[in-house]
A and B are shown apart, each in its own frame.
Chain A
Amino acid sequence: NAGVTQTPKFRILKIGQSMTLQCTQDMNHNYMYWYRQDPGMGLKLIYYSVGAGITDKGEVPNGYNVSRSTTEDFPLRLELAAPSQTSVYFCASSYSMSLAGGDEQYFGPGTRLTVT
């Protein structure tokens, strides 16, 4: 199992450009998440998905969009990049969201994005 994979590892964007961060998991997890991590701050949830075709906003969704057409893939789209979107982005997945276990999230290696 490769687990959660993300591409690209690094990217530099100019203000106003757009890009898609790719995320794929091979664990057959229904739940997938996108976070951003900024220095000195905890990870913040951008968007999440509870299954193919179902997505919803997290704490900091502005400036981002997502789609989930398959169980495996959960791409994050940045439209009109701004310097405030400079961050490290992590994709994660989990098997469930219950108290019976299986709700631990597994993270990808991250994408470091700089917007200048």
Chain B
Amino acid sequence: EDQVTQSPEALRLQEGESSSLNCSYTVSGLRGLFWYRQDPGKGPEFLFTLYSAGEEKEKERLKATLTKKESFLHITAPKPEDSATYLCAVQARYGGATNKLIFGTGTLLAVQP
């Protein structure tokens, strides 16, 4: 069964304290892994897409990496405005020519000043 597991469920950091969020997955036929940021009461906001093991993407203080079984979202010197829930989703084939996104339950990140 296709599955996405994110850890930890919640993470509290001090401003400037770097850390990593994990997304492990089991899926037959990975067709991309996506990272989203979700603020309270808002829709998920797209951050990165990774398609193959070894690929890396960066945006400001965030860096996403991908292996054959997991992805990491590294946060360097975080600021309070980085506080949000970070969602990971893997894209798999869903019959015919369409794909589906399988979402993890997210990591709630709180960065304290």
Q: Which residues of A contact B (CB under 8 A)?
A: 4, 40-45, 48, 50, 56, 58-59, 90, 92, 97, 99, 101, 103-110
Contacts of B46 on A, CB cut-off 8 Å? 104-107
What 0/1 readout, one digit per residue, does chain B (5-32) give for beta carbons within 8 Å of chain A? 0000000000000000000000000011
The interface residues of chain A lying within 8 Å CB-to-CB of B102 are: 42
Min CB–CB distance A51 → chain B (angstroms): 11
Selected interface stretch from B66-74, B75-83, B93-101 = B93-101
Given A42-B103, A42-B104, A50-B98, A107 and B45 contact (CB-CB distance below 8 Å): yes
Given the complex of chains A and B, what is the CA–CA distance between A32 and B36 in angstroms? 17
Q: Closest 5 CB pairs between A and B? A: A107-B43, A42-B103, A43-B103, A104-B46, A107-B44
When the two chains form their complex, are residues A110 and B42 in contact, meaning their CB atoms are under 8 A apart?
A: yes
Q: Which residue of A lies closest to B100 (CB)?
A: A45
Complex contact A109–B42 (CB within 8 A)? yes
Q: Do A104 and B44 touch (CB < 8 A)?
A: no
With a cutoff of 8 Å between Cβ atoms, the chain B residues found around residue A4 in the complex are: 43
Q: A50-B98, A105-B46 are in contact. Are A99 and B103 (CB under 8 A)?
A: no
Q: B residues touching A (Cβ–Cβ < 8 Å)?
A: 4, 31-32, 34, 36, 41-46, 49, 51, 87, 89, 91, 97-106
Chain A to chain B contacts (Cβ below 8 Å), 26 pairs: A42-B105, A42-B106, A43-B44, A43-B87, A43-B89, A43-B101, A45-B100, A48-B98, A50-B98, A58-B100, A90-B43, A92-B43, A97-B97, A99-B31, A99-B51, A103-B32, A103-B49, A103-B99, A104-B34, A104-B49, A105-B46, A106-B46, A107-B36, A107-B44, A109-B43, A110-B42
What is the interface of chain A mostly: helix, strand, loop, or mixed?
loop
- Chain A residues with CB under 8 Å of B101's CB are 43, 45, 105
Whether B42 pairs with A103 at a CB distance below 8 angstroms is no
Assess the B99–A97 pair: CB atoms within 8 A.
Answer: yes
Q: Which residues of B contact A43 (CB under 8 A)?
A: 44, 87, 89, 101, 103
**A41 and B105 within 8 A (CB):** yes
Complex-state Cα separation, A97 to B99, whole angstroms? 7
